[in-house]
Amino acid sequence: MEKPGNASLAIKFFLAVCLCIVVIFLYHKRAWFRNIPEKQQTAVVSGKNVPATPGQQAKAASLAQPAKPLAQPAPPPEALTADRSFIEQTTTKLKKTIGGKKAFDLDKQLNALFKAYAASDKKIEKKTRQKTAASSTQQVRLQRGKPLPEYAIMVARLVRDTPYWISDSYESAIDTTITLTIADNTGSIKVIVLTYGKQYVPGFARIAIVLEEFGESMPPELSDLFALVNCPINIGIVPGKPYSNKIYRSAMQGGWEVVCQLPMESVPYADLGTMGIYKTTTIENLEKLLARLSDAFEGAAGYSIHGGGVRIVENEPVILKTVFKHIKTEEKYFLDNSFAAHSRAEEFAYAQDIKCRVPGLWADRNGTFDQQKELVSRFADTVRKTGSGIVLVRNGVHSIELVRFMIAYFHKNDVKIVNVSSLFE
C-alpha cells in the first residue's frame, strides 16, 4: 500500500509538468495576443450603438490627432572628398536663374548643372529611358577621374527648397555607381544613375603625400629626402622636439610645405613634450600654446594631429572649437589624421568655414613593405575615380624607399602629386 506522502508528491509533479506545458504553449503562440483586433468604433444613431462607417472612423482619428506635414527625406550624406566651396558656388549660381513665379524645370536645371560641372560637352554621355509617363531613368556617364560624390551632392542641393527631393540614394561598391531617385508631390519619379566611363581623365587625379612625425631626431636620410624637391611632398613636424626648429628651417628653405602637428592625447605622455594638448588643458593655456606655435611655425601651411587624439576629436568640442578658431584666424587648413571612428573635427571645421580634409591612407601603419605597396596601388586607383586624396607616411627607416615607390607609381599611372594646400583650390 502506497504512503499518502508519495501520492501527493506525484500529484504535485504532474501539476508542475502541466504548468510547464501551458507556459511553453503560450510562449510559442504569443503572436496571437499581438494580433488581437481592436474594438470597433461605434456611432450613436437614434439612441442605438451601431458600427461606425470608415468615414466616421477616419474623421474621429483626425480629430483625435492633428495631421502632421509629410516630411521630405533627407538628402544623401556628404562625401568626405566633397569640395564644398565649388558645390556652393555652382548651385547658388544655378538657383539664381530660377524665376520667382516660374515653375522649376528639373530637366533644364540638371542639364545646366551637368554642363557647368563637366569640363566639356564632348565628355558627356547621357541615356534616358522612359519607363512610364511618371517614371524615367537617366544614365549619366563620366570619364574616370571626375568625382561622382560631389556631383551627387550638387544634385541634392539643387532640388532643395523646390517641389522635388531626393527620395533615395545608393552608392554601389561593386560597379562604382551612384543612383539618385528624385520624387515630387505628384508621384513622378526620375532616377539618375551616375557612373564612370571606360577612360580616365588624363592629369585630373591629384594626390598629396604627407611625411609625418619629424622633430624627435635628425634623420640621416633627410638630405636624400630634400633631394626630391622636384616633387611636392608635405613635411609634418611635431613642435617642442629637439630638432623641430632645425628641420622646419631646412624645409622652408627647400620650398617644402610644412604641416604643424598638434600633439593631442587624452592624458599627458612624456613623449608629447611641453606642447601637448590634453583633455585637462584649460582654454587659457591652450590659447597661449597656439600663440607660441604661430610664432615658431609662422610659415606652416596647415595643422594636423600628432598622437592618438581620438578622445579629443570625439568628446572634447570646446578644445576643437578653440583650435579651429585659431586656425581660421591664420587662414590655414586642418588635416584630421586621428582616424577616429566618431571624429567631429570635420563637422566643426565645416561649421566655422575652415578648410579640412581627412587623409584616406596611412601607408606604413601595418604590414610588410610589399603589403604597403599593394595598399598604395589600391589607393591610387581610388583617387583616379574620386579625383583627389591624401596619403600619410611616418618618418622612419623605410620611409624614403616607400616615398620613392609612390612617386614612381603615381607618375606611371597619371596621378599628379601636389601639395595639400592645392587640394583646397
Predicted confidence (pLDDT) per residue in 290-307, tens digit: 999 888 898 999 999 886
Considering the domain architecture, whether residues 182 and 248 belong to the same structural domain is answered as: no
pLDDT at 331 (0 to 100):
92
The answer to whether residue 398 scores a pLDDT higher than 80 is no
**Mean pLDDT for the stretch of residues 52-65:** 50
Does a structural domain hold residue 155?
yes
pLDDT at 33 (0 to 100):
53
Does a structural domain hold residue 49?
no
Considering the domain architecture, whether residues 101 and 233 belong to the same structural domain is answered as: no
The answer to whether residue 281 scores a pLDDT higher than 70 is yes
The answer to whether residue 65 scores a pLDDT higher than 70 is no
Considering the domain architecture, whether residues 218 and 349 belong to the same structural domain is answered as: yes
More confidently predicted of 351 and 124: 351
Considering the domain architecture, whether residues 194 and 228 belong to the same structural domain is answered as: no
Does a structural domain hold residue 34?
no
Range of the domain at 386: 206-424
pLDDT at 130 (0 to 100):
59
More confidently predicted of 379 and 77: 379
CA distance linking residue 349 with residue 333, whole number of Å: 9
Does a structural domain hold residue 111?
yes
Q: Quote the percentage of the chain above a pLDDT of 70.
A: 65
pLDDT at 120 (0 to 100):
44
Considering the domain architecture, whether residues 120 and 134 belong to the same structural domain is answered as: yes
pTM assigned to the model: 0.56
The answer to whether residue 258 scores a pLDDT higher than 90 is yes
Considering the domain architecture, whether residues 311 and 373 belong to the same structural domain is answered as: yes
pLDDT at 376 (0 to 100):
92
Does a structural domain hold residue 352?
yes
CATH number (domain holding residue 107): 3.30.460
> In which band, very low, low, confident or very high, does the pLDDT at 215 lie, cut at 50, 70 and 90?
confident
User: Which of 177, 200, 223 delimits the end of a domain?
Assistant: 200
Considering the domain architecture, whether residues 122 and 216 belong to the same structural domain is answered as: no
pLDDT at 327 (0 to 100):
92
Considering the domain architecture, whether residues 168 and 279 belong to the same structural domain is answered as: no
pLDDT at 76 (0 to 100):
42
More confidently predicted of 20 and 391: 391
Does a structural domain hold residue 18?
no
The pLDDT tens digits of the residues spanning 161-188 come to 788 888 887 777 666 678 888 888 777 7
pLDDT at 198 (0 to 100):
52
Considering the domain architecture, whether residues 130 and 164 belong to the same structural domain is answered as: yes
> In which band, very low, low, confident or very high, does the pLDDT at 119 lie, cut at 50, 70 and 90?
very low
The pLDDT tens digits of the residues spanning 126-155 come to 556 655 556 778 777 765 555 666 677 778
Considering the domain architecture, whether residues 168 and 261 belong to the same structural domain is answered as: no
**Mean pLDDT for the stretch of residues 260-270:** 76
Tell me the pLDDT of the chain averaged across its residues: 74
Question: Which of the given ranges, 133-137, 329-333, 350-354, 364-368, has the highest pLDDT on average?
Answer: 329-333
Considering the domain architecture, whether residues 245 and 393 belong to the same structural domain is answered as: yes
Q: How far is CA 402 from CA 78, 136, 211, 398, in A?
A: 32, 49, 11, 6
The pLDDT tens digits of the residues spanning 147-160 come to 666 677 778 888 88
Total domains present in the chain: 2
Does a structural domain hold residue 30?
no
The answer to whether residue 386 scores a pLDDT higher than 70 is yes
pLDDT at 75 (0 to 100):
44
The answer to whether residue 15 scores a pLDDT higher than 60 is yes
CATH number (domain holding residue 342): 3.20.20.370
User: Which of 200, 232, 248 delimits the end of a domain?
Assistant: 200
User: Which of 140, 171, 200 delimits the end of a domain?
Assistant: 200
The answer to whether residue 340 scores a pLDDT higher than 70 is yes
The answer to whether residue 93 scores a pLDDT higher than 70 is no
More confidently predicted of 405 and 151: 405
Considering the domain architecture, whether residues 189 and 288 belong to the same structural domain is answered as: no
**Mean pLDDT for the stretch of residues 383-403:** 82
Does a structural domain hold residue 222?
yes
> In which band, very low, low, confident or very high, does the pLDDT at 241 lie, cut at 50, 70 and 90?
confident
pLDDT at 420 (0 to 100):
93
The answer to whether residue 46 scores a pLDDT higher than 50 is no
